[in-house]
């Protein structure tokens, strides 16, 4: 078990192998390592579902579920936003109608006649 944990010797060995490869060209060990890395890459791509020609992997069930939830939430936000806008416009229209009604009542109110027109009292 403890043999699988890389130590400082393993790191130094990999650095020496890298330097040797750079100075003397590829060795059989580095060629095998390249093959294994390529093989590992192909296995990982198969596990992840991507193809070697660059096409993306099909979405997983969890991704599809989260996408559907986000779309449902976005539709709800749009619907509520539209309802709020319609409600706000209706409220503004009612407020405007109330103001017009008040103006109409003031315009049609009974007007004082006679002496009150000529001598307005300070209380009125």
Q: In which residue ranges of the chain is pLDDT below 70? A: 1-52, 115-124
Rounded to a whole number of angstroms, the CA Rg of the chain reads 41
Q: What is the pLDDT of residue 30?
A: 55
Q: Rounded to two decimals, what is the model's pTM?
A: 0.43
Q: What angle do CA 76, 82, 84 make, to 5 degrees?
A: 100
pLDDT (0 to 100) of residue 61: 94
| Cα dist from 85 to 38, 80, 92, 96, whole Å | 58, 9, 11, 16
For residue 115, the model assigns a pLDDT of 67
Q: Quote the pLDDT of residue 101.
A: 96
Check residue 111 and give its pLDDT: 78
* pLDDT tens digits, one per residue of 4-24: 555 555 555 566 556 555 555
Please state, in angstroms and rounded to a whole number, the distance separating the CA atoms of residues 113 and 70. Answer: 70
């Amino acid at each position: 078990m403890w043999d699988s944990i890389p130590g400082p010797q393993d790191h130094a060995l990999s650095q020496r192998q890298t330097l040797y490869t750079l100075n003397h060209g590829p060795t059989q060990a580095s060629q095998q390592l390249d093959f294994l890395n390529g093989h590992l890459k192909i296995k990982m791509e198969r596990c992840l579902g991507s193809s070697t020609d660059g096409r993306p992997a099909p979405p997983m069930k969890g991704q599809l579920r989260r996408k559907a939830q986000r779309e449902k939430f976005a539709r709800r936000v749009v619907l509520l936003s539209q309802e709020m806008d319609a409600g706000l416009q209706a409220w503004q229209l009612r407020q405007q109608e109330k103001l017009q009604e008040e103006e109409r009542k003031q315009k049609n109110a009974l007007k004082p006649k006679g002496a009150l027109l000529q001598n307005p009292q300070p209380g009125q």
